[in-house]
Amino acid sequence: MPVRPFYPPMEAAAVQTLPEGDGWVYEPKWDGFRCLAFRDRERVVLQSKSGQPLGRYFPEVVAALAALPPTRFVLDGEIALFTEGRLDFDALLQRIHPAESRIRRLAAETPTTYLVFDLLVDDAGAHTTELLEARRARVGAFFETLPPDGVVRLSPATRDRDVAERWMRELGAGGLDGVVAKRLDAPYRSGERSAMQKVKRLRTVDCVVGGFRYGRASRDVGSLLLGLYDDEGRLNHVGFSASFTADERRALAPVVEGLIEPPGFTGDAPGGPSRWSTERSSEWQPLRPTLVCEVRYDHFSGGRFRHGTKFLRWRPDKTPAQCTYAQLDPPADATALASLTRQAG
């Protein structure tokens, strides 16, 4: 069961809407680490999407896979971490740490879940040339004798597009990343995107521009620094937007330079230099909090947008005071995602 050279997992093409019609099965798009799990008797190997070994970071998953009754298999799934019923990618990232003692402690304190959606190999041989409809039957049979709430779980699936749309609407607050649609009449195409589609749950929010950074070696604007007001009326730095063309960067400079005025952010402010930043990248210009813009984002966690946001438009019709955390998703239903992971599609 070789892992080097690594076996690329099948991937999904990004689309705007879920496909309709017969022949599709829909699955939750979990917010975690894609992982192929290889077991050959006592040996268990976890492989990331890029081919990197993951086993040392998730010893509880390795142990759970090693304890399963089947002794030879290759599974495709996602390693996820739930905190109070919500997917917690920030906590998951804490595992990527060089100290084994810390990893062992976190594995005990915040165990992860391995959500499986495909079976590629078992004792009967390889099944990658079989159609997904047959592989879904095999993975279902694989889990029939396993506990539904263990570390290793069967990821749910549905052929009902309305159910998948409801997942998108109702479970985003719990951190669900979107929905994946797969062709039931397709084999497992390693490294390809031809038989899978994904729709990510993207949201928008109005933010105050509390500052900006100049671009590298220029007087053009490199990024806008975004803020939201908390309940105490403090403007907290929550992320940035740098999705501008060269012409747009030049045009932004006269818009923001006339508003340079400290302090910019009155709560959490952009951080100073670190071992990852240069002196230039840590410098920022504070602005009088009058500009409001609408941005698109995928996830908000730990008090920040996890990735850079997409600038959509200026909002002169909105006052800065309206740019609060209340715009973000409401607290997640602590039971909704947990219930979903116990369903066998």
Positions annotated as catalytic residues are: 29
**Chain mean position to CA 217:** 33
DSSP, collapsed to helix, strand or coil, labels residue 103 as helix
Single out the residue of 240, 214, 234 nearest to residue 295, CA to CA.
240
Single out the residue of 115, 77, 78, 110 nearest to residue 95, CA to CA.
110
Cβ neighbours of residue 2 under 8 Å, at least 6 residues apart? none
Q: Please tell me the distance from the alpha carbon of residue 112 to that of residue 92, in angstroms, as a whole number.
A: 8
* Token code pair at residue 169: 């609407």
Single out the residue of 203, 200, 176, 178 nearest to residue 87, CA to CA.
176
CB 78 within 8 A of CB 115: yes
Three-class HEC string of 150-176: CCEEECCCECCHHHHHHHHHHCHHHCC
